[in-house]
Amino acid sequence: MFQKILIANRGEIALRVLRAAKELGIQTVAVHSTADAEAMHVRLADESVCIGPPASRDSYLNIHQIVAACEVTGADAIHPGYGFLSENAKFAEILAAHNITFIGPSAEHIRLMGDKIEAKRTAKRLGIPVVPGSEGAVREDRAAKKIAAEIGYPVLIKASAGGGGRGMKVARSEADLSEALSTARSEAGAAFGDDAVYIEKYLQKPRHIEVQVMGDGAGKAIHLGERDCSLQRRHQKVWEEAHSPALNAEERTRIGTIVSNAIADLGYSGAGTVEFLYENGEFYFIEMNTRLQVEHPVTEAITGIDLVHEQIRVASGGGLSATQDDVRFFGHAIECRINAEDPRTFVPSPGTITHFHTPGGLGVRVDSGVYTGYRIPPYYDSLIGKLIVHGRNRVECMMRLRRALDEFVVDGIKSTLPLFQELVGNVDVANGDYDIHWLENYLADHAADHK
């Protein structure tokens, strides 16, 4: 087991990892920018190192400084959290060269899944269902037209290096295709320095369903069920739940088994999420994230398995603590991502939190790095906390969520709490009846109510 882990992240996820390390009796090192000197992860860690000025590229993305912090403190492993360096294959390689363990998959697997065309090809080879579309990159308009005609319009043009929904364009008919291709190529080139694009069938009303997996790196893997993350705004997840209200036990086992077998075949190590769109009873692979996800707590709630403990165990060579047969699902869990943003315009609202009170009681978990008097710096993402609620079934979970939201107080800044208070009372949400466009449509329809 490791003696000391450096956490190359900030905010709630840095605290999340720190807690898991403490439980395992491992020393922790926090790193922070000058803007985060007062942050909770810095206060709670055994040691901390300032790694640079506020801008992420100079601090949380500064590989040189992070490796130096490891060497100064004698940390033998790094947990990257999510975002920042968590899916940076080069970072994993540099750590290996310095004899520091990267708590995550191999650089090779990060690279493979980071290239969407390669990831899709690999998924298909491993027996995972994919969205119908081009085999690889599409370079010429003529070839694009042929493929689009075969799969049928509308089609979606996606960037191979894509992320965050950038470089994606829908073409509704052949007349739109050339323009959509050239816009997607130039957006992708500008954003990622790689203008390779590919074509997929555009699904009209899918749900976003993702499967959580853990591999031991030696050919064994388990799945921990799925999460439904269909409630999104601009491709950003807002509300996540486990299980999906749309799946039955047979579908869950079927897709879970396909994915865990594929991950085992790959020799994958650590936590991963295989993301699908789900429509009319069919799953379509869209991408794999080779890291811990923001929404991992809903899976922890329904399985009782601490995913960060598992990541640390696997990275230290201790294998997985559970077999597939040990994984049991219990009840229902929902997570709300509470952001420091205006609940209607979503404009960030940094500043000082004058009062912060979190709900408690049975089945309520809050993962947050903020506190009363904390000043939210304007440099990073606007997530201030995640409220995760668990109940014996979805109805109980929703009742508890409504109560927990009522108790939650965030004063001094704007937050998205009021949006969740609305959603928890909505009939479609109560019925679990939504697709990936539902929230955008809801916000557009209700924009006038809040003028």
Active-site annotation, residues: 291
Q: Which of 180, 389, 436, 439 binds ligand ADP (CB under 6 A)?
A: 436
Q: Which of 100, 128, 286, 429 binds ligand ADP (CB under 6 A)?
A: 286
Binding segment (CB under 6 A) for ligand ADP, from list 36-44, 59-67, 156-164, 407-415: 156-164
Which helix (H) or strand (E) covers residue 19, if one does? helix 11-23
Question: Nearer to ligand ADP by C-beta: 14 or 131?
Answer: 131
Minimum CB distance to ligand ADP, residue 288 (Å): 10
Nearest to 276 by CA among 288, 258, 264: 288
Answer yes or no whether residue 188 interacts with ligand ADP by CB under 6 A: no
Q: Strand locations in 145-281, DSSP E?
A: 155-159, 169-171, 197-201, 207-216, 221-233, 236-242, 269-279
Q: Which of 156, 262, 271, 419 binds ligand ADP (CB under 6 A)?
A: 156
Minimum CB distance to ligand ADP, residue 381 (Å): 15
Answer yes or no whether residue 283 interacts with ligand ADP by CB under 6 A: no
Answer yes or no whether residue 66 interacts with ligand ADP by CB under 6 A: no
Question: Nearer to ligand ADP by C-beta: 111 or 201?
Answer: 201
Minimum CB distance to ligand ADP, residue 167 (Å): 7
Minimum CB distance to ligand ADP, residue 130 (Å): 10
Q: Which of 74, 127, 164, 219 binds ligand ADP (CB under 6 A)?
A: 164
Nearest to 299 by CA among 207, 236, 357, 222: 222
Which residues touch 273 (CB under 8 Å, ≥6 apart)? Answer: 210, 211, 212, 213, 288, 289, 293
Contact 30, 48 (CB under 8 A): yes
* Residue bearing tokens 């079934």: 393
Pairing of strands 77-79, 4-7: parallel
CA separation for the pair 436, 451 (Å, rounded): 25
Answer yes or no whether residue 132 interacts with ligand ADP by CB under 6 A: no
Tell which positions 359-378 bind ligand ADP, by CB under 6 A.
none
DSSP helix/strand/coil, 413? coil
Answer yes or no whether residue 235 interacts with ligand ADP by CB under 6 A: yes
Answer yes or no whether residue 117 interacts with ligand ADP by CB under 6 A: no
Answer yes or no whether residue 278 interacts with ligand ADP by CB under 6 A: no
Minimum CB distance to ligand ADP, residue 123 (Å): 12
348-351: long-range contacts at Cβ-Cβ below 8 A with a sequence spacing of 24 or more? Answer: 348/378, 348/382, 349/376, 349/382, 349/413, 349/414, 349/415, 350/375, 350/376, 350/377, 350/378, 350/382, 350/413, 351/375, 351/376, 351/412, 351/413
Q: Which of 195, 200, 241, 310 binds ligand ADP (CB under 6 A)?
A: 200
Binding site for ligand ADP (CB under 6 A): 131, 156, 162-165, 200-203, 206, 208, 235, 275, 277, 286-287, 436
